[in-house]
Structures are given as C-alpha cells and as structure tokens.
Chains A and B, each alone.
Chain A
Amino acid sequence: MAKILAEITTLENERARVANDLHDELGPLLSAIKFKLSSIETHLPEDELVMQQTSEHIVDIISRMREISNDLMPNTLIRKGLVYAIDEFIGKLGNGQIHGETVHGLTISFSHVDVPELPKNMAINIYRIIQEIVHNTIKHAKASLLRINVLMKDKKLVLQTEDNGSGFDYGDASKTSAGFGLRNLVSRTEIMGGDLFIESKKGKGTVYTIEIPV
C-alpha cells in the first residue's frame, strides 16, 4: 500500500512538473519566435510562403504541447478544483461541437451536490478515476448514456457512475487489457482509504460506486 501510494505520488508530481515546464517555459519561447518571425518583411513570394509555413508549424507545436500538457495535468484541476475540471474534461471530449457532451454516440451527464474543496492529491485521484471510467465506457461499454454523480453523504464523498452499455464480467475483464485500468481504479481508491464497488452484468450496464472518507 505504502509503495503504491509512493508510486502514484511520484507519478503525479512528475506529470505536474512536465506539464508546467511545457506550459510556462517552452510555450512563451515558441510564441516569442513566432512574433519575431512575423516582424520580418520579405518581398519575395517564395520567402513569404516559407515564413508563413514556418509560422504554421510553430502553431502546430504549440497546440500539440497544449494537448500533452493538459493530458498530463489539467490546469483547471489545480486552479479551480475537481468540479470545474470534470466539466471541462467532458466538454472537451466532444471536440468541435457545441453540444460537447456527446462523444462517439455516448451522451455524458455530470451532476454534483455540495462537493467541498478537496485536498489536491485527492482531487487528482478522483479526476483520474473518472477519466478512466469515461474512457472504459467509450472503449468497451457500447453505451449511449453515462451519468456521473458526485455528492457528499455521511462525511464521505460518493462518486457514482452508471451506464446503459453492455456490461462486463469483472473476473474476465481483469485478465484482459481493460484489467490494467481496473487495477488503477482499485489502487487509487485504496490510497484514499475508500471503497470501490462495481456492479456489472453482461447486457445490463455498469455502475461504479466509490466512497471516500473526507
């Protein structure tokens, strides 16, 4: 247990550090290059084209860095906490659509009641758990609806998700590639001293319930 805790803490600290370096150091440097490039005036059309393409490459690098940085550690999670970060995560899944909650035919709803400000490590762990569940649902569940609820009950934070997908057999799934994700859920719940319940039957959808003492 102590070993898992140490591993996860080191992992998250490293992620935060790399995300920060990308965001706060390399980003401004790249924009500075782009700005300086745009001040050069050339009268040769072929040079003009090279400059324009170079500038586009820089924009591509910046947007890729943004994605990497955000995957590693969402700025919103650190700055605004869990609820905002989940909202943003779900919104961004449906990239390119105003109805951001629908992705690959899956509609995701998120509701929350009285979620207090959580210690940073706990917020990160719960965020990762939700990410894992959403990704599992998209990849394996063939569901059209996923409901995510976070609420406080008897001094415990309760996270419950429910989908209407194909369901799975826990014993079978833990032996496949999905097993890694499931073990991740178990470890993250354990280090917070919480309990994880998975109710799933083939063809009957899946309910994850995670209770964490706050």
Chain B
Amino acid sequence: MRKSAPIRILLADDHEIFRDGFQVMLKKQDYIKLIGEAANGRELVEMVGMLQPDVVITDIKMPELDGVEATRIIANKYPAIQVIGLTMFDDDNLIIDMLEAGAKGYLLKSAHKKEIIEAIQTVYNKEVYYCKSTSANLMRLIAQSRYNPYKHEPKPVFTDKELEVMRMICQQASNKEIAAHLSLSIRTIEGYRDRIQERIKAKNMVGIVVYAIREGIYKV
C-alpha cells in the first residue's frame, strides 16, 4: 500500500528552545513533516512564499511582525495554506484576533501531543479546530466575534432532542446528566453527541458550544 505524502508544516516562534521542543516532539510522526522554522512573523511570511507548506503553526506574540498580521497576509495571499495560532496562555482577545485574521484553529502551548496532531490534521482537511481547554468565556467571545466559519455551509436541521442535547452541552452538563434529564441511556446521548459533532464538523465540545451560541440555539 502506498503511503500518502506527509502533511508539510512550518513553525514560527521567537523562542528557539520552544521550536526545538516542538521539532523533537514531531520527529517520530511520519505523516507530519516539519519543513521549516521561522523566528518571527516577517521570516514566516517569506518562508511561506518559498516553501508553500500545507499548514502553518505560529506563535501570536512575536517581534518584527506578530502572528496576527502574518496570518492576515498568509490568508490573503495563500488561501490554501491553513494557519493554526499557538499561544502560551489563553489570552482570549489574541485568539479572537487570530481567528478574525484568518486562522483555522488555535492551540495552547501546553496542549498534549495527541491534540496538536489532531489540530494539524483537522485544519489540513479544511475544518476548524478549537483547543480542548477553551474557557467558557472564550467560547462566548468566539461565537460573538466576526469570525464565522459556518456562513457558507448549508445549515443542518436538528431534531428537538438534538437541540436539547446541544443546549445542555452549553450548560456544561455531562453525558450522564443529559441522559438523566432526557430519560435516555448514556450510550444514546453519546450517539447524539457524535452525530451533532459530525454534522457541524466540530472536533470537541468547544465546537458545539460555539456553534450553538452563534446560531442562536443557546442564548447567552
């Protein structure tokens, strides 16, 4: 069986030690290939032009040109290249700026390897990725921001049960609590959850909440 080509990624961060750690982490993954490292936004934009990566992973606060400006340039000039914003802490407003500038996802620098890989694969497939450890406040801000990944998609129609499950997820209810409330089994709720995620292309609970708030399914 022929192996598909690895996803080619470019990393930008002004800390060499961070870039080194990142590179070591991904070295053994043969389906992801780190093809270059930039130390600031200006270098990043130049390297994107030369190397044409599939996915860019960039720090937000950087000297010369920050991640937000660099993302804006890349998203305009090379719309096929997907950008993920990386941030040390969940600085809500920085993340909103990144998404509005054209990033398809964001990650905290404390994310686990599995999540980082999942994020890379998700944006590579032209879907959005929200970090698993997104605060409730940030979910609300994303939903209310100008950033809207859903505007060109045909809107799925949900059943009353599905809508109720979505609302309860927004209230941070567990599968067990939702099951008890709707008098259904936990397994059934898990099934609902998976189906909802699949239909709105959400990778985790954060995607469901952002969608529900933006579409007015859950009122804040």
Contacts and interface: CB of A to CB of B under 8 A. Distances in A.
Contact of B112 (A29, A36, A38, A88): A38
Given A31-B109, A98-B213, A100-B140, A36 B24 contact: yes
A70 B110 contact: no
A98 B139 contact: yes
15 contacts: A28-B13, A28-B109, A30-B110, A31-B21, A32-B15, A38-B25, A39-B25, A75-B89, A75-B94, A76-B94, A91-B92, A94-B136, A96-B136, A98-B213, A98-B218
A15 B141 CA distance: 27
A106 to B, nearest CB: 16
B195 to A, nearest CB: 22
Contacts of A23: 88-89
A75 B91 contact: yes
Interface string B122-157: 000000000000011101110000000000000000
B183 to A, nearest CB: 25
A146 B183 CA distance: 39
Given A36-B21, A66-B88, A75-B91, 13 more contacts: A24-B61, A27-B88, A29-B15, A31-B109, A36-B25, A59-B110, A62-B110, A76-B92, A91-B92, A91-B140, A91-B141, A98-B209, A99-B220
Contacts of A79: 93-94
Nearest to A62: B110
Given A31-B21, A31-B88, A75-B94, A92 B137 contact: yes
Contact of B109 (A27, A70, A80, A84): A27
A173 B138 CA distance: 37
B25 A27 contact: no
Interface in B20-74: 20-22, 24-28, 61
B137 A100 contact: yes
A84 B93 contact: yes
A204 to B, nearest CB: 32
B112 A80 contact: no
Contact of A28 (B28, B88, B140): B88
B110 A34 contact: yes
A53 interface: no
Contacts of A27: 88-89, 109
B83 to A, nearest CB: 19
A74 to B, nearest CB: 9
Interface of B: 13, 15, 17-18, 20-22, 24-28, 61, 88-94, 109-110, 112-113, 135-137, 139-141, 170-172, 209, 213, 218, 220
Contacts of A80: 93
Given A27-B109, A31-B21, A34-B110, A92 B135 contact: yes
A93 to B, nearest CB: 9
Nearest to A88: B92
Contact of B89 (A69, A84, A95): A69
Contacts of A84: 93
Given A28-B13, A36-B25, A100-B137, A66 B90 contact: yes
Given A28-B15, A91-B137, A98 B21 contact: no
Contact of B113 (A28, A38, A66, A95): A38
A66 B24 CA distance: 25
Given A28-B13, A76-B92, A98-B220, A63 B110 contact: yes
